[in-house]
Structure 1
């Protein structure tokens, strides 16, 4: 399924960026990213996928329940292992799920919506690309090696640019 392939491609691109960073660069807060680091954005990507996979097992996905594991944002090798674990465990039957969360900071009431596994996979893919785009901005501040030309760019944008170039 192209969704699985697209997720794995995004993870591969993210892994390539992580490979070119020192541990210090991975952990360095970026002024351009309101003080967050490449590691923190990577953790956020990973933990949303972890919430989805846990929710698949119990029928309810709650992204509010992510662990915020500091090790993911400080240990790039650990983050890469988790990305590999997720990439190898995303292929599941599309089932109906409940999405639960508190989406208004002034409320404590949990909202419950019906969704499905593929829809949430797609959300996570789009969320990943969004955070990769933010990482791309942060990398400019770190003055690292250039990233791939498609890193952090939506596939529809890539296709559009290619059509315009013809």
Structure 2
């Protein structure tokens, strides 16, 4: 399926805004989250930490932004910074997410180079695969929402109220809206 330039720009803007919506929800949660909860360990092995999930999300967006900042650079999700301050300081996490949000909107809203090469490592063997910025933005939206669902569950376990749409994929929200419309129409 081939899209005209303006149709592709509109589609990319929608994908960017899907990422922006998720990041915005996460920033809002972080602004209301007690700092100690951001660093609190959950689970029997104490390995689940909200801050680690936030840092992981940031690392993935940073990888895409780094790869798209220099022509010919490889996207590499495995070789991440894992900056400790982003998983221990909620304000640092929220600030970095705000920066990422601004960069996504400025770099990818409208016309941009779409072709991208990604380094994928399997069994210690690296291979370069072809992908696209658009495809990676779709991946990052789903990846972010997946981690937000875990963050939301951890926050709720600690007694924090989380909005009903937090960590819910847009496709699920659209499905629920269609179900609600169908039920109201049949009533």
Hey, which bits of structure 1, 4+ residues long, moved more than 3 A? Answer: none
Shift of 1:163: 1.2
* Corresponding position of 1:147: 162
* Corresponding position of 2:86: 72
* Cα separation, partners in 2 of 1:136 and 1:114, compared to 1, 3 Å: same
Give deviations 1:71-95, integer Å, cap 9, x for gaps. 0000111111111111111133142
Give distance in 1, aligned partners of 2:37 and 2:120.
Answer: 33
Structure 2 regions of 5+ residues with no counterpart? 1-12, 182-187
Give distance in 1, aligned partners of 2:44 and 2:64.
Answer: 29
Give distance in 2, aligned partners of 1:94 and 1:101.
Answer: 21
1:126-165 map, 5 Å = 126-144=142-160, 146-165=161-180
* Corresponding position of 1:26: 38
Shift of 1:111: 2.3
Question: How many aligned positions are there?
Answer: 162
TM (norm. structure 2) is 0.82
8 Å CA contact 1:30–1:36 kept in 2: the answer is yes
Give distance in 2, aligned partners of 1:114 and 1:31.
Answer: 38
Give distance in 1, aligned partners of 2:170 and 2:86.
Answer: 27
Give distance in 1, aligned partners of 2:54 and 2:95.
Answer: 12
For 1:46, which of 58, 62, 65 is the aligned residue?
A: 58
8 Å CA contact 1:39–1:72 kept in 2: the answer is yes
TM (norm. structure 1) is 0.92
Question: What's the C-alpha RMSD, in Å, of the aligned pairs?
Answer: 1.5
